Structure 1
Amino acid sequence: MEVIVIIAYLIPTLILFSYSCAQLSLVWKYWKKRRKENKNPSPNIINLPSKLPLVTIQLPIYNELYVVERLIEAVCRFDYPQNRLEIQVLDDSTDETVEIIARNVQFYQAQGFDIRHIRRTHREGFKAGALAYGLTLAKGEFIAIFDADFVPNPDFLTQTLPHFSNVQVGVVQTRWVHLNESYSLITLLQAFGLDGHFIVEQGGRNAGGHFINFNGTAGIWRKTCIHDAGGWSADTLTEDLDLSYRAQLRGWQFVYLENVATPAELPATMPALKSQQYRWMKGAAECARKNLTKVVHSPTVRISTKIYGVFHLLNSGVFLAVFIMALASVPILVITVFEPKYNYLFGIFSIFQLSFLMLLAFYGTTHYRHKTFGQFVWQLPFFLTVIMGLSLHNAIAAAEGYLGKKTPFVRTPKWGIVQSKDGWQRKNYLVKSLNWLTIAEILLAAYFAAAVGLGLYWHSYQMTVLHAMLALGFGFVSFYSVKHSLS
């Protein structure tokens, strides 16, 4: 039995260590590129062509009464000629959002915009289906996509389109920034994690010439790239990641622009965050199931790009490793107390604590580039604590994706929350998460709190910090799941 527990702890720990090494290598690639840019402070400026291309803007909408007007207004403020711009509002809504869109479309049509309110008779394929349908009607050479919670800046097209001067470029993706980062601790920690992805992960992979992904919004596609890659598909919950890999396997290049920021609204409640995380984690696992072997066996993809692609596609599996490691850590504590011959394990496991130092470098880069050190000092441990608290929820989502269990696309609610005075309590689209999973998270918080007490009682302190973070993390997630479901 002891051997089984040790293996159950050791294998996930090895996986997490490997993943941390991959993240550290992205930090190195990121800074290597930055050093090159610093040595050449005046790069060649890419200008827009003399004849501006026709651009189609797609706005996939489903029941977004609080934010859709803000989005339409933002894209109609683009610094781009009206006669070279087509706007498609792809509206699958079933509530008063339909009337809001109709009113705004009529208003901007009267001002000379080529804007259409496109309705389908069914919601087949969800967002992917709406994008695919809109593409059959699109007149533009390039397709810009924005989700309802985004507020793109007026210079979005003038900043992104010049990069398509290279005919092999199929996508230009911009960095997300956050309208309501300081709204609450939940939004602050989301911003912390997303910044790591959008600065180091996207920037590092792109710097190394490896596969990155279109993030579903705040980016622009060459229409021929979409068609060449096989078009939008709804057989995964992350149609953006799926199409990104299919396109890059066809040889298309992606460009990531860290310095072009596109603002968006973060989910303001724990149930809404869980809904988003579930879709992202399960969708990534579904994409791995669909595309991993294609990446590994591709004769045209470099070995290094295949390795980074494997880590990228299997990213959501990290939560399976975190959860299994966490569960096994308590029996490990008991074994080492009552079987002193196994105390040497702590010496071995301490090697893998280097993972934390790698995460320091990863997220430290993010804050060095765009934030302050004072924020970083307390946000990193708190962020890791909450991520551990989400491990059960995200592990279930990833497992379902790997096993091929299909579930419908569930949107993340947006409420137009930007300032601290804005509230969500009396608005539509509230998500409830009072279910067996919340009860399990409460029990896990108690489980790891008891482990902290046992460790202190037995004077075995090697895992006290880990168990304290797990107890706090599951307690935080379950507390806000209950609070936001009852509010």
Structure 2
Amino acid sequence: MIWQVSLLILYTVSLFIIFIFSVGQAYLIFFYLKSKREKEIIPVLQNDIPKVTVQLPLYNELYVVERLINSVCDLNYPKEKLEIQVLDDSDDDSLILTKRIIAEKQAQGFDIVHIARTKNIGFKAGALQNGLNIAKGEFIAIFDADFLPEKDFLIQLIPYFNQAKIGMVQSRWGHINKDYSLLTKVQGFGLDGHFTIEQTGRNKAGLFMNFNGTAGIWRKTCIMDAGGWQHDTLTEDLDLSYRAQLKGWQFQYVEDVATPAELPVELNAFRSQQHRWTKGAIETSKKMVKEIWKADVGLKKKIFGTLHLMNSYVFLFVFLTSILSIPVLFIKNEGNINPIYFQLMSVFLIGFVIVTLFYLIANFSKKESLKAFAKLFPMFLSVSMALSFHNSIAVLEGLFGFKSDFIRTPKFNITNLKEGFKSNIYVKHGLPKAFYVELFLSLYFFTGLVFAIYYKDFGLFPFHLMLFTGFSTLTFYSVKSKLA
């Protein structure tokens, strides 16, 4: 009896924590919808055009460096007002290609420089700070290697710096290969929710928001005033965002300007990206939450800033809830627990309703059909819950201070199924360490389906079905990557 009560308490606490974060999402939904009723005044570029430095942090980007530099050189902005810094920490043959492309652009009259460090200290953050120290521009635009800015990117976003305290302007991420596979569709679906509801909601509610590491523009003095780029976390963008806003700088999110990017088409690349984002967010929360509560920013910003920075902890509780759900099924049908407890637990379904509304509204904002949502949302939830195992490891590494290198996400420069990635020299084709655990977990949650039929108790059946589907999907893509 004691072990049953202990498990149920742990299960309830996990569900309650997930519910709290869901309530935070409901608040963002409210402000997103409110913003849609307001008429936004779009500023225009004035005659006094400022100098802009475009920073392109690279590390072994053989397949995408040429299209990146070409797209930046195609920006509709006066050449004399544009400086391009190629911050190249590469240590492979891509260096030769990059140097050749830069030489060609210099011959065409572009102010483009190749900055290659002898030591890759601080990874991306170190490269950005190194370039910042010699940047000529009043504003700093940043693009990762997998992004392709539209020609009017600077013309559209620079006018938003019409107030002296605006320190950063962020555009929405688009996707050039969202329809490549089920894996990219799921990624795009999740990112659209973040860049539609979450970023707009935070911005319009006057809450802390974050620079997303790329496809945005900083005021140079804002970066310097906030202490510059620091590399003591894996999410230097999130870290700098909070340091800048705690200094009084304001951010602007522009949902209507999209910057297309390539989504990872291979599972291991997607995993490394998720691991870095998750672990880095935990590291940043350890660094910055105490600073938020010391600051004079108001209780609302403190609460939602804390929820924002600690959001990655949800993965840990989602995984814990998932693992405990099968013992809970046994306890419900074999134990001596009052049935009222299980009836009361249904209140946590409100959290699921909130999450559904979050992505449903984002789906409609993208002018996608209800049919498309119905097809993709269950798979998105399934894969997201299955990723909770992998991301929980990242949470624990960040929590207990386990240091790791900045692992880049391999780029592929492929947009349709006819283009494979078998010959990509950056892809690791072996089975990941997590493969066997995820295979076991897919079988584990399959037993949940079996016992639901045995007990004729289908309350957790949809939950276990999604978990089984999610872990099976990850297992499938792991094998597919090995065979590619």
- What TM-score results when the alignment is normalised by the length of structure 1? 0.97
User: What is the CA distance between 1:372 and its match in structure 2?
Assistant: 2.3
In the alignment, which residue of structure 1 is the partner of 2:69? 72
1:346 is aligned to 2:342: yes
Q: How does 1:417-432 map to 2 (within 5 A)?
A: 417-432=414-429
Return the alpha-carbon distance in structure 2 between the equivalents of residues 433 and 198 of structure 1: 33
In the alignment, which residue of structure 2 is the partner of 1:317? 313
Sequence identity (%): 49
1:437 is aligned to 2:434: yes
Q: How does 1:185-224 map to 2 (within 5 A)?
A: 185-224=182-221
SS in 1 for 2:38: helix
In the alignment, which residue of structure 2 is the partner of 1:270? 267
Return the alpha-carbon distance in structure 2 between the equivalents of residues 287 and 437 of structure 1: 25
Return the alpha-carbon distance in structure 1 between the equivalents of residues 478 and 271 of structure 2: 9
Relative to structure 1, is the Cα distance of residues 268 and 150 closer, same or farther in structure 2, using a 3 angstrom cutoff? same
Contact 2:268 2:432 in 1 (8 A): no
In the alignment, which residue of structure 1 is the partner of 2:7? 5
1:302 is aligned to 2:298: yes
User: What is the CA distance between 1:437 and its match in structure 2?
Assistant: 1.9
Give per-residue Cα distances to partners, 1:31-73, cap 9 Å, x unaligned: 1111122xxxxx5442223221110000000000100100000
User: What is the CA distance between 1:435 and its match in structure 2?
Assistant: 4.0
Return the alpha-carbon distance in structure 1 between the equivalents of residues 164 and 417 of structure 2: 45
Return the alpha-carbon distance in structure 2 between the equivalents of residues 341 and 71 of structure 1: 61
User: What is the CA distance between 1:357 and its match in structure 2?
Assistant: 1.0
Return the alpha-carbon distance in structure 2 between the equivalents of residues 356 and 217 of structure 1: 31
Contact 1:335 1:342 in 2 (8 A): no
User: What is the CA distance between 1:343 and its match in structure 2?
Assistant: 2.6
Give per-residue Cα distances to partners, 1:114-150, cap 9 Å, x unaligned: 0011110111100000001011110100000000000
SS in 1 for 2:255: strand
Q: How does 1:37-436 map to 2 (within 5 A)?
A: 37=39, 43-298=40-295, 300-370=296-366, 371-432=368-429, 434-436=431-433
Give per-residue Cα distances to partners, 1:423-472, cap 9 Å, x unaligned: 11121110346244221111111111012101211212211111111111
For 1:480, the aligned partner's letter is: Y
Contact 1:211 1:245 in 2 (8 A): yes
Return the alpha-carbon distance in structure 2 between the equivalents of residues 270 and 343 of structure 1: 42
For 2:139, the aligned partner's letter is: F
Relative to structure 1, is the Cα distance of residues 431 and 295 closer, same or farther in structure 2, using a 3 angstrom cutoff? farther
In the alignment, which residue of structure 2 is the partner of 1:459? 456
Contact 1:271 1:485 in 2 (8 A): no
Superposition misfits of 4+ residues, deviation over 4 angstroms: none
Return the alpha-carbon distance in structure 1 between the equivalents of residues 156 and 437 of structure 2: 47
Give per-residue Cα distances to partners, 1:381-410, cap 9 Å, x unaligned: 110011111110001101111111110000
In the alignment, which residue of structure 2 is the partner of 1:450? 447
User: What is the CA distance between 1:485 and its match in structure 2?
Assistant: 2.6
User: What is the CA distance between 1:478 and its match in structure 2?
Assistant: 2.0
Return the alpha-carbon distance in structure 2 between the equivalents of residues 59 and 144 of structure 1: 9
Gaps of 5+ in 1: 38-42
For 1:17, the aligned partner's letter is: F
Contact 1:58 1:88 in 2 (8 A): yes
Q: Which moved more, 1:473-482 or 1:77-86?
A: 473-482
Contact 2:45 2:159 in 1 (8 A): yes
SS in 2 for 1:144: strand
Contact 2:53 2:83 in 1 (8 A): yes
Contact 1:214 1:241 in 2 (8 A): yes
SS in 2 for 1:180: coil
Contact 1:141 1:223 in 2 (8 A): yes
SS in 1 for 2:211: coil
Return the alpha-carbon distance in structure 2 between the equivalents of residues 207 and 389 of structure 1: 32
Contact 2:432 2:478 in 1 (8 A): no
For 1:348, the aligned partner's letter is: L
User: What is the CA distance between 1:287 and its match in structure 2?
Assistant: 0.4
Q: Which moved more, 1:424-433 or 1:355-364?
A: 424-433
Q: Which moved more, 1:3-12 or 1:177-186?
A: 3-12
For 2:472, the aligned partner's letter is: G
Count matched residues.
481
Contact 2:44 2:156 in 1 (8 A): no
For 2:74, the aligned partner's letter is: R
- What TM-score results when the alignment is normalised by the length of structure 2? 0.98
SS in 1 for 2:161: helix
Q: Which moved more, 1:380-389 or 1:435-444?
A: 435-444
